[in-house]
Amino acid sequence: MSAETGADTGAVLPSTARALLHEVATAQVAARAPSLVAGVVRDGALVWSGGWGDVPGPVDDTQYRIGSITKTLTAVTVLQAVRDGLVDLEDRAATVVPELAEHGHGEVRLRPLLAHTSGLASEPTGEWWERTPGTGFAALLAANPGGPGAASVLPPGQQFHYTNLAYAILGEVVARLRGRPWWDVVRADVLEPLGMRRTTYLPVTPWSTGWSVHPYEGTLTPEPATDTGAMAPAGQAWSTVADLARYAAFLAAGDDAVLPSPWLDLASHPVGGTRHARLSAAHGLGLQLLRGGSGVLRGHLGSMPGFQAACLVDAPRRTGAVLLASSTTGTATAEVATRLLDVLAEREPTLPRPWRPAPRDLPAPVRDVVGVWHWGNTPYVVAVEGDDQQVVVRRGAAAVHRFAVVDGALVGVAGYHEGETLHVRRRPDGSVSHLEVSTFVWTRTPYDPDAPAPGGHPDAGASHS
């Protein structure tokens, strides 16, 4: 059957709904996917969903395998453990799973495992793990010892190299830290708080069969719905449009019950990449980063035999797109999801959040720095902006630095001075003399003679005739 539904009637205009469905229908035909379902999220809600082809159940509620989107669930549980002080991103995985050291993986650390910069092989040895019953972790580790020419194929930290094996290790790290199986942690600490009750380890009715499409005859061959065992943290889960929409809303804005937004922002910094991607894509801490939308889309693509998937969000625009297809190959998931977001942005652009006045009782460091300052002879305007009341430094119209109050101090959150502290320097009478951040000095007037200038003031010692 061909199907189209709207999770919230009237949430998008009829013309927008038609355009979105056209994208899905065109993609289903081009990919020769037996079925293709999708949804669009805005401001935390599923505002449109639709399907094309032989969807075996309700568009929003039919399960498909999500493949490597599962990796983001694993990454979230690792970041939760870091948040809770159980482990640090710079820790060796072997401090949690000692057997790793016994098999040559003693030096691999959590951050490179998350970002695919560990140098580990893309796949474990043996039969294609995605189509065969999985083993336990001990057997997986014994079959994949570390070291050059074995499970390690590149020097650690050299570049991005996608590795499913890394996420098997991360899943075991989570299980050891929490004292219960990886999937139990995912279900209790991620899925249940987000209301994702139709995201499961194995399929639950209604669910779609995964198909391989013959390249010339157009006939279908069913693919196995395996339990991948120790490799499950890399690609096991099944989900629906409605559940992935909830997850997309979380990836866009965070959720205090799972991970607040700053942790997702941390995970969205590009950590791994290759020159071959030509800056079109990178990888953060468990999140794929693709060029698109307002600048960068974050989330993940997924594939398993018989299935392809995408879950991408444009956090500044507060939008997201999810996509599920019942074929092994052929669907350009990233391109289709990106196009869905583009259609929404073109036809119904995101409304900015209303401007709100700043509170009258601004914290002292903020009151002290607003106004005009000069770096040498270059003027900058410092003002409070946005819902989060950040201190924004502009040169002309361009925002070049952003600071936020952290533990009573102004700390850079974007721009050249990210992570640096902006210090307010005072005169003996308590009035503000100048600002310093690292070696940069900002003064109220150009080259204020009463404030220090690194290297000396330009006019010092100059002769005039």
- Residues belonging to the chain: 465
Q: What are phi and psi of 448, to 5 degrees?
A: -50, 120
Strands (E), 121-160: none
Question: Strands 281-283, 288-292: parallel, antiparallel or unpaired by DSSP?
Answer: antiparallel
How open is the CA angle 163-166-171, to the nearest 5 degrees?
A: 135
| DSSP designation for 148 | B
Provide Rg for the chain, Cα atoms: 26
CB 314 within 8 A of CB 297: yes
Conformational region of residue 419, where left means phi above 0, alpha means psi within -120 to 50, and beta covers everything else: left
Residue 351 burial by CB count (10 A; 0-12/13-18/19+): exposed, middle or buried?
exposed
Q: What is the DSSP letter of 430?
A: S
pLDDT of residue 455: 83
Angle at 317 between CA 38 and CA 334, to 5 degrees: 40
| Two tokens, residue 53 | 């082809």
Q: By three-state DSSP, how is residue 465 classified?
A: coil
Q: Quick one: pLDDT at residue 151? A: 76
Element (H, E) at 383: strand 378-385
Q: Structural domain boundaries of the chain?
A: 3-347, 364-442
Residue 368 parent element (H or E): helix 364-369
- In terms of phi and psi (left: phi > 0; alpha: psi -120 to 50; beta: otherwise), the region of 115 is alpha
Strands 45-53 and 371-375, by their bridges, are: unpaired
Strand arrangement of the beta sheet that strand 378-385 belongs to: 371-375, 378-385, 390-395, 398-406, 409-415, 421-426, 432-437, 440-442
If you search the block for the tokens 């159940």, which residue do you land on? 57
The full DSSP string for 263-307 is HHHHHTS--B--GGGTTSEEE-SS-EEEEETTEEEEEEEEEETTE
CA distance 174 to 178: 6
The CATH architecture of the domain made up of 3-347 is 3-Layer(aba) Sandwich (3.40)
Measured on CA atoms in the order 174, 177, 178, 181, is the torsion positive or negative?
A: positive
| 3-state SS class at 164 | helix
CA distance 453 to 439: 10
Please state whether the predicted TM-score (pTM) of the whole model is above 0.85: yes
In a structure prediction context, what are the per-residue pLDDT tens digits for the chain, which is 465 residues long?
Answer: 444 443 344 489 999 999 999 999 999 999 999 999 999 999 999 999 999 999 999 999 999 999 999 999 999 999 999 999 999 999 999 999 999 999 999 999 999 999 999 999 999 998 889 999 999 999 999 999 986 666 788 999 999 999 999 999 999 999 999 999 999 999 999 999 999 999 999 999 999 999 999 999 999 999 999 999 999 999 999 999 999 999 999 999 999 999 999 999 999 999 999 999 888 999 999 999 999 999 999 999 999 999 999 999 999 999 999 999 999 999 999 999 999 999 999 999 999 888 888 888 888 889 999 999 999 999 999 999 987 889 999 999 999 999 999 999 999 999 999 999 999 999 999 999 999 999 999 999 999 998 888 888 887 654 443
Report the amino acid identity of residue 213: V
Could you tell me which of 333, 281, 282, 292 has the C-alpha nearest to residue 314? 292
User: What one-letter code names the amino acid at 176?
Assistant: R
Measured distance CA(296)–CA(422) in Å, rounded: 28
What is the sign, positive or negative, of the torsion defined by CA atoms of 438, 82, 229, 35?
negative
In this prediction, residue 3 carries a pLDDT of 47
